[in-house]
């Protein structure tokens, strides 16, 4: 059985992070959706190298923009990951179909995206004080594994 959550990267900029997350999606059975504009070409060798031979094992959806992604993914609960949130990501009881939304490197999600009424909630991954943010692929992995853990890795 697949994990059932969907990772959504809004305007990713670094191909290696996306490639690494393609590998993650194949390993845990979640979907990865990319909402443009993308900061790289999908044929980028860095993207392919980071994903290695996992591209055929992962479900990757590509959308022109965030509106296009929402058109395909909603209705669903959307949890926006941001360092500015008060709620920790472990406080959410994830369900199949949930969308875990991440912003571009290095800026994260902008205020307009965070304020969108289609965003169910904002969550954060705790870090030590004074740290700006986690790497995008690392943050996505932390979130995906927490969602998977909550369903006993089935």
Per-residue pLDDT for 2 more than 60?
Answer: no
- Other beta carbons within 10 Å of 86: 9
- For the chain, give the mean pLDDT: 91
Question: Which pair of tokens denotes residue 24?
Answer: 């993650």
Least confident stretch, 30-34, 47-51, 92-96: 47-51
The total domain count for the chain is: 1
Q: What is the dihedral of CA 112, 118, 121, 122, to 10 degrees?
A: -30
Could you tell me how many residues make up the chain?
Answer: 154
pTM, to two decimals:
0.92
CATH of residue 18's domain is 3.40.1280.10
Per-residue pLDDT for 1 more than 70?
Answer: no
Residue 53 lies in a domain: yes
Using the structure block, give the residue that is written with the tokens 């999908």: 42
Closest CA to 33 of 79, 1, 75, 65: 65
Tell me the C-alpha distance between 112 and 109, whole Å.
8
Q: Which domain holds residue 112?
A: 6-150
Tell me the C-alpha distance between 82 and 102, whole Å.
8
């Amino acid at each position: 059985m697949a994990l059932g959550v969907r990772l959504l990267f809004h305007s990713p900029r670094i191909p290696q992070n996306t490639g690494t997350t393609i590998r993650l999606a194949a390993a845990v059975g979640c979907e990865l959706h990319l909402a443009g504009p993308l900061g790289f070409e999908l044929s980028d060798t860095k993207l392919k190298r980071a994903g290695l031979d996992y591209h055929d094992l992962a479900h990757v959806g590509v959308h022109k923009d965030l509106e296009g992604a929402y058109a395909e993914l909603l209705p669903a609960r959307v949890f926006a990951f941001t360092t500015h949130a008060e709620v920790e990501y472990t406080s959410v009881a994830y369900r199949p179909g949930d969308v875990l939304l991440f912003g571009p490197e290095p800026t994260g999600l902008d205020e307009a995206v965070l304020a969108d009424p289609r965003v169910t909630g904002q969550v954060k991954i705790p870090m030590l004080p004074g740290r700006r943010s986690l790497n995008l692929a690392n943050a996505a992995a932390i979130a995906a594994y927490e969602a998977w853990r909550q369903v006993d890795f089935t």
